Amino acid sequence: MQSASVSAALPGSSCHYCYRVPNRFLHFRNLHLKKTLNSLSLSRNQIHAKNFCSLTLPTANSFSKEQEENLRKDNKLHPDQNHTFLDQFYSSADTNKLRNQDPESQNQEQDEEPRYNKDKYWTVLCTNMWWSQLKAALGQRINVEGIVSSTVVFAKDRHLALPHVTVPDIRYIDWAELQRRGFKGVVFDKDNTLTAPYSLTLWGPLSSSIEQCKSVFGHDIAVFSNSAGLYEYDNDASKARKLEGKIGIKVIRHRVKKPAGTAEEIEKHFGCQSSQLIMVGDRPFTDIVYGNRNGFLTILTEPLSLAEEPFIVRQVRKLEVTIVNCWFRRGLKPISHNLLPDAMQCVKDPPSL
């Protein structure tokens, strides 16, 4: 396709100047611009500048022949410099098209974007809420940290899973004797130690023992659970607050699930070393491993209720108990504790059941 030229007469001069039009502007993509060009008068591929209301050329009073010849040479050597005024014309045509657009359609387009953003926001929010609930439900049933720790314990640290004391439930514990031995506080697991699984209410028959514990240790009693108080699954502490209101025991907030993690949050809460505290729980490879690893006196209780536990948790519990009993029968001993050399000294017959 050949290129055309634009001819313009300079004011005060009888000569005409030709400006080459690039090929890329001979085939316009914009329909509005095509109509504009068709409305202009064309004669032998020359377009007078006076018909372009949006195009302006530099004005001059007179030019010599040498100046005219130099202008022609500059135009041939630098044809791209003349693209500027055509680019401006092309962009001005698009601007006019937007300005002439129906205001209602403009408002409709503006309204569609916020509506799309709102729909996208709610979709992402619902997805995150669904994933958080699923993760919480699976996390409380499948303890990945516990599985990894159990593997290590089974391989080389078997004594960490063996409790110092084993009782049916906390009613068999002599709290006064433990206090006389030098212990300063008690840390309880929640599920199947103080409450039924996933419940926020104290197991009824344990009320008297909890009151005895409070009378001995005062406010130096706390709950350290992998459900209520764990940031990952109780981010807003709603479960922790409800449990505290029901049983009157402080729930320690923490970030790492047992048996992983240190006793830093617990020691900070009680203001003493973990070796002066008692850990009470129902899971050998969770509560007991965590307690022994961090220097607690560990007491293992039997689960309060298996009816509400998931099937997989019940099977894992049976496996844990079987392994621990097997190690005891083989003569494996738990880690000794300085404050309680004889574990049976803190065990008593409970009141009438």
SS (H, E, C) the chain: CCCCEEEEECCCCCCEEEEECCHHHCCCCCHHHHHHHHCCCCECCECEHHHCCCCCCCCCCCCCHHHHHHHHHHHHHCHHHHHHHHHHHHHHHHHHHHHCCCHHHHHHHHHHHHHHHHHHHHHHHHHHHHHHHHHHHHHHHCCHHHHHHHHHHHHHCHHHHCCCEEECCHHHECHHHHHHCCCCEEEECCECCCECCCCCCECHHHHHHHHHHHHHHCCCEEECCCCCCECCCCCCCHHHHHHHHHHCCEECCECCCCCCCCCHHHHHHHCCCHHHEEEEECCHHHHHHHHHHCCCEEEEECCCCCCCCCHHHHHHHHHHHHHHHHHHHCCCCCCCCCCCCCHHHHECCCCCC
pLDDT at 115: 54
What is the Cα–Cα distance from 142 to 55, expressed in whole angstroms? Answer: 75
- Looking at the domain that runs over 148-346, which CATH code has it been given? 3.40.50.1000
Are 338 and 275 in contact by the 8 Å Cβ rule? The answer is: yes
Among 303, 274, 283, 149, which Cα is nearest to 226's? 283
> Hey, what amino acid is at 207?
S
Domain range annotation of the chain: 5-99, 103-141, 148-346
Per-residue pLDDT of the chain (353 residues; tens, 9 = 90+): 444 444 444 444 444 444 454 554 444 444 444 444 444 444 444 444 344 333 443 444 444 555 556 555 554 444 444 444 444 444 444 444 444 455 555 555 555 555 555 555 555 545 555 545 544 444 555 666 666 767 778 778 899 999 999 999 999 999 999 999 999 999 999 999 999 998 999 999 999 999 999 999 999 999 999 999 999 888 999 999 999 999 999 999 999 999 999 999 999 999 999 999 999 999 999 999 999 999 999 999 999 998 888 898 899 899 999 999 999 999 999 999 999 988 888 998 865 54
pLDDT at 104: 53
pLDDT at 73: 52
pLDDT at 80: 46
pLDDT at 176: 96
pLDDT at 153: 81
